[in-house]
Amino acid sequence: MKTEFLKALQKIMGSERVTVDQTNRHLYCRDMMTGSLLELKAGHQPHLPDIICWPENVREISQVLKTANRFRIPVIPFGGGSGVSGGTLPLHGGLIIDLKRMNRIEKIDGPFLKGIPHYRATAQSGILGEHLESQLNRKGFTLGHFPSSILCATLGGYLAARSAGQLSSRYGKIEDMVEAIEAVLPSGQIISFDGRIRDYKSALPRDLLVGTEGTLGIITRARLKIYPKAPAARYRGISFNQIPHALTAIREIMQSGLRPSVIRLYDPLDTLLLQFGYETGNRTFPKKIGKLLGPLKNNLFHLLIRNPLLPQKIFSLIPSDALLILGFEGDANLIEEQEKKAIEICNHQLAKDEGEGPGRHWLKHRYSVSFKMPDLIEKGCFVDTIEVAATWDKLLTLYHKVRATLEKYCLVLAHFSHAYPEGCSIYFTVVGQTASREKDYETYQTIWNRAMENCLEAGGTISHHHGIGLLKSKWMPRELGEGLKFFQAMKKKLDPNGIMNPGKMGL
């Protein structure tokens, strides 16, 4: 049957854009989820897809899905493969549909309303985030979406996983930026921009498919709100010696109606990491220590990582600040005024203005930290990020609970980013090392289990922007409660043969 299916695909797309070769099957066996890399390092066998294909238009995708449905072949949409939750893992083999050949901006139009600069762009879902943004920039626009993975994630992946960028407080998450999508359902039915879904007569594909991680269909195009590029920007650092004071300041800023483009608070340990590389003032401190230690630096690093309680205990005894990065973009006079108001709010919470240096440093290095993670894994450590969110009343409890639980297994750093009037997300980074790769993998699983349990107990949500994928699937019944039944019913109706990305999102 597989041969017949393969022949059918080749008929649709030609044989160059369909492959069963081993190298590609291995290349497409995982995304950037740390767990699957640790499993490979521990010698476990990966789940391989059987076939990979690269369609070039929506009609091809429609025919491929119709055919896969006929043969009951699992289908996994694949954007950049930068997901960190195992969303693209081919758990039951099947067909990977890589969308990166559908990578064009088709149209930029607007303004639509007199006096209100409402512009929009229509783009294919396989376009890389960085290509989309730089092409818009050349025309004087921005999407305003800057995830740390902008260099390796696609528009379709953003939409499927409800991505959030670094300027989310000003521009919103991707679901706030999208006006309409075109999608293909598992039956092969193409639903264009303003078309309704037959089985849910009042539902638009945007409302139904965004955030469903390829479990209900494939997003092929999107119409997005875009903005003229901001004429001015201001970034600065503000330090607080108490996290609760800093969180009160962030809440008050967001509830006052101010809309900073960036407002993210690094806890003291994360602040230390962020400061590595500062070139001025007393912030050269960590660099100097590194130089003094010379070749012993590596041994000390591994010693501390293997005994995480020790450095965390020592660090907790040193008085150290939490750094808030505060940024505004827009009209120069207006943002100066807004920044002043925000600083006033911070000052009421005993803050110290560190000036523009930390803000400029953050801006320059804002994508760097994430891309250092693979280096740490190659050095024999494990490293991962755990993003959760909660309303303001629960946020601090959630932070302390997760920290206190995890710090016996690994180093735990955190920053609070993506703030809203109602609450905020917390982004924990965990770094650890054990005596073997197998033990690393076990410890990593324990860390995730404990973090998710703690998050749910504290009344938080287990995902703000990395999606659910495979990683968080088993907590979906507790996360969604009765809501999961609706999701399951919808899945049954739209995908009765269960071909779309099986085993993900608790389905």
Ligand X SMILES: Cc1cc2nc3c(=O)[nH]c(=O)nc-3n(C[C@H](O)[C@H](O)[C@H](O)COP(=O)(O)OP(=O)(O)OC[C@H]3O[C@@H](n4cnc5c(N)ncnc54)[C@H](O)[C@@H]3O)c2cc1C
Q: Is the Cβ of residue 161 or residue 262 nearer to ligand X in the bound state?
A: 161
Say how far apart CA 266 and CA 433 lie, in whole Å. Answer: 23
Residue closer to ligand X by CB (options 49, 80) is 80
Run of H or E residues at 446: helix 437-457
The set of residues, in sequence order, having a beta carbon less than 8 Å from that of 314 and lying 6+ positions away, is none
Task: Give contact residues for ligand X (rule: CB under 6 A).
Answer: 31-32, 76-84, 87-88, 99, 125, 147-149, 153-154, 156-158, 160-161, 163-164, 213-214, 218-219, 370-371, 465-467, 469, 501, 504
Single out the residue of 215, 136, 209, 223 nearest to residue 180, CA to CA: 223
**Nearest to ligand X of 64, 76 (CB atom):** 76
Min. distance of Cβ 385 from ligand X in angstroms? Answer: 8
Quick check: 429 and 383 in contact, CB under 8 A? yes
For the chain, give me the number of helices (H) and strands (E)? Answer: 21, 17
In angstroms, give the least distance from the CB of 373 to ligand X. 7
Give the Cα separation of 242 and 228 in Å (integer). 38
Residue with Cβ nearer ligand X (345 or 500): 500
- What's the closest the beta carbon of residue 463 comes to ligand X, in angstroms? 10
Q: Which amino acid is at 151?
A: L
Supply 276's token pair: 């590595």
Q: Report whether 55 contacts 101 (CB < 8 A).
A: yes
CB of 139 to ligand X, least distance (A): 23
Closest to ligand X by CB, 9 vs 174, is 174
- What are the φ and ψ backbone dihedral angles of 149, each rounded to 5 degrees? -95, 20
Q: Which is nearer to ligand X, 304 or 480 (CB)?
A: 480
User: Closest distance between ligand X and the C-beta of residue 163, in Å?
Assistant: 3
Chain center to CA of 167: 13
What minimum distance in Å lies between the beta carbon of 273 and ligand X?
15
Contact 306, 408 (CB under 8 A): no
User: Is the CB of 215 or the CB of 349 nearer to ligand X?
Assistant: 215
| DSSP 8-state class, residue 379 | T
User: Residue 333 CB, nearest distance to ligand X (Å)?
Assistant: 30
90 and 46 in contact (C-beta within 8 Å)? no
Tell me the HSE value of 316 on the side-chain side, using a 13 A CA sphere. Answer: 12
Which residues neighbour 10 within 8 Å (Cβ) at sequence distance 6 or greater? 18
Nearer to ligand X among residue 412 and residue 505 (C-beta): 505
If the CB atoms of residues 36 and 349 are measured against ligand X, the closer one turns out to be 36
Question: Is the Cβ–Cβ distance between 322 and 243 less than 8 Å?
Answer: yes
Which residue number is nearest to ligand X in terms of Cβ? Answer: 157
Three-state DSSP class for residue 7: helix
**Can you tell me the distance from the alpha carbon of 431 to that of 411, in angstroms, rounded to the nearest whole number?**
5
How many Å apart are CA 465 and CA 399, to the nearest integer? 17
DSSP string, 167-233: THHHH--HHHHEEEEEEE-TTS-EE-TTPPBTTBTT--HHHHHTTSTTSS-EEEEEEEEEEEPPSEE
Of the pair 37, 246, the CB lying nearest ligand X is at: 37
Alpha-carbon dihedral angle through residues 228, 234, 167, 143, given to the nearest 10 degrees:
10
Q: How far is the CB of 86 from ligand X (least distance, A)?
A: 8
CB of 375 to ligand X, least distance (A): 12
Q: How far is the CB of 204 from ligand X (least distance, A)?
A: 16
Give the nearer residue to ligand X in terms of CB position, either 219 or 447.
Answer: 219
Q: How far is the CB of 334 from ligand X (least distance, A)?
A: 27
Between residues 443 and 463, which has the closer beta carbon with respect to ligand X? Answer: 463
Q: Cβ 111 to ligand X, closest distance in Å?
A: 28
Give the containing element (helix H, strand E) for 341.
helix 332-347
- 443 touches 382 (CB < 8 A): yes
**Alpha-carbon torsion 81, 84, 87, 92, what sign?**
positive
